Amino acid sequence: MSSDAPVDTPVPNAAEPFSGAPVDVDDRFEPPPDIILRSSDSIDFHCHKNILAHVSPFFSDMFGAVSGNQDIQKDGKAVIPLVEPSTVLYGLLPRVYPAHTSRDFTLTDPVDLNDICAIHEAANKFQMVRAQVLIEDMLLHSPLLDLHPHRFFAIGCIRNITPLIRKAALCTLRDTTDPVIPFIPEFELITGNRALELVNFFQRCALRAQLIAGNTNSVHHEMLALAEQYHTVITSHEASGQPFVWWRADGHAAQCGPTDEKVGGIWTQEILPPQWYRNHVRHVANTLRFVPNGATAHSAAIDVAPAERAAIAACPECAQYALRDLANFASQLKKVIEWSNEEIVDTTWE
Ligand SMILES: [Zn+2]
């Protein structure tokens, strides 16, 4: 060990609870610390060998090996110089001290993310398996994931946490006012390939969502007859199997209702729903091109534009059933899009 810092150099102590200050035994029982971890920026963390040895084979081995052979001493405790800065130790040590795990470090403030990769890396180096799992769990359940999904994606790539990569990638499909990926410090640490994976993932989801929404613009008559065989072509009520009003022939106004499609004077096997519905699903498909997620699919599918609303009102059959049927269509579309996105996540990051 180096002796750059002799005994009388005033190295400051860390903040509570690692300050080494005596504990009032009437207040709480806590044995005094018996080892000091010195950060690379010269802050002394007063710790307990037993706790470190319990959570870390790395420290357990170290204490076994260097027992009675420490170069540096302070307050009668051995000092272990580390390459980790104090920010990392402040992030890591409360995770391995059972009484301190629930405070100080909740990942609700973006500042908490600044050192998270280094903290996770240190936990890995010190073989603090439980602390590593705890940090991954905090990342996966952080409320910041929704707000900064690209950042969490990059953190997942840097630390090779596949569940985080997948969850963050799905979150990048959410509504955003600014489609441009913001500046993210962690992006400097991932390869262009990883960034490209995310771009490709978004495009695959967008393309598939567009197809799923748009594929009821006209359907083969067999699809209507055998709706349950075509899971991604939503033409009928989920529970009853009853076709939606725009596929039912009876009761519509003269200009409304489904029609058999004719191309160049020849009947095709395709059935066209009323014009208002075709306009509407085209709009839904366009929306999903930019924000391809289930919630957006749902809100776009129930949000009927004024022109289509007027057409619905002008037909007695559609006026009675269209909005109710669109609500059912919307909730099925949401599920299918979410299923589709998750399938793409599964195949992109196995
Ligand atoms: Zn109608």
- 19 and 40 assigned to the same domain: yes
- 307 and 254 assigned to the same domain: yes
Ligand 1 centroid vs 209 CA: distance in angstroms? 26
- 71 and 105 assigned to the same domain: no
Do 245 and 326 meet the contact criterion of CB atoms below 8 Å apart?
Answer: no
pLDDT (tens digit, 0 to 9) for every residue of the chain, 350 residues total?
444 555 556 889 888 888 888 766 666 667 888 899 999 999 999 999 999 999 999 999 988 876 555 677 888 888 999 999 999 999 899 888 866 555 555 688 888 888 899 999 999 999 999 889 989 999 999 999 988 898 999 999 999 999 999 999 999 998 665 556 667 778 778 888 888 899 899 999 999 999 999 888 888 887 777 766 667 789 999 888 899 999 999 999 998 989 988 888 888 888 999 999 999 999 999 999 989 999 999 999 999 999 999 999 999 999 999 999 999 999 999 999 999 999 999 999 98
Is there a domain that residue 196 lies in?
no
Round to whole Å and give the CA distance between 133 and 304: 46
Is there a domain that residue 199 lies in?
no
Residue 77: give its domain's CATH number.
Answer: 3.30.710
- 66 and 115 assigned to the same domain: no
Q: Within a 10 A sphere around the Cβ of 276, how many other Cβ atoms?
A: 23
Both structure tokens of 186: 């962690």
Ligand 1 centroid vs 243 CA: distance in angstroms? 13
pLDDT attached to residue 17: 82
Please tell me the pTM assigned to this model.
Answer: 0.82
Is there a domain that residue 145 lies in?
yes
Sorted by sequence, the CB contacts under 8 Å of residue 125 that are 6+ apart come out as 58
- 148 and 170 assigned to the same domain: yes
Is there a domain that residue 206 lies in?
no
DSSP lists the bridge partners of residue 74 as: 77
Residue whose C-alpha is closest to residue 123's, from 111, 109, 139, 108: 139
Is there a domain that residue 205 lies in?
no
Whether the ω angle into residue 316 lies within 30 degrees of 0, i.e. cis, is: no
pLDDT attached to residue 22: 74
Round to whole Å and give the CA distance between 25 and 35: 20
Sorted by sequence, the CB contacts under 8 Å of residue 10 that are 6+ apart come out as none
Ligand 1 centroid vs 293 CA: distance in angstroms? 29
Give the chain's domain count: 3
Ligand 1 centroid vs 307 CA: distance in angstroms? 14
- Domain termination site, one of 143, 171, 190: 190
Q: Whole domain around residue 139: which residue ranges?
A: 88-190
Round to whole Å and give the CA distance between 272 and 327: 20
- 110 and 19 assigned to the same domain: no
Ligand 1 centroid vs 253 CA: distance in angstroms? 6
Is residue 46 within a helix (H) or strand (E), and if so which, with residue range? strand 44-47
Say what angle helices 129-140 and 149-158 make with each other, to 10 degrees. 160
pLDDT attached to residue 126: 94
- 26 and 118 assigned to the same domain: no
- 36 and 94 assigned to the same domain: no
Is there a domain that residue 22 lies in?
yes
Ligand 1 centroid vs 267 CA: distance in angstroms? 22
- Domain termination site, one of 83, 116, 132: 83
Ligand 1 centroid vs 309 CA: distance in angstroms? 11
- 164 and 52 assigned to the same domain: no
pLDDT attached to residue 1: 46
Ligand 1 centroid vs 258 CA: distance in angstroms? 8
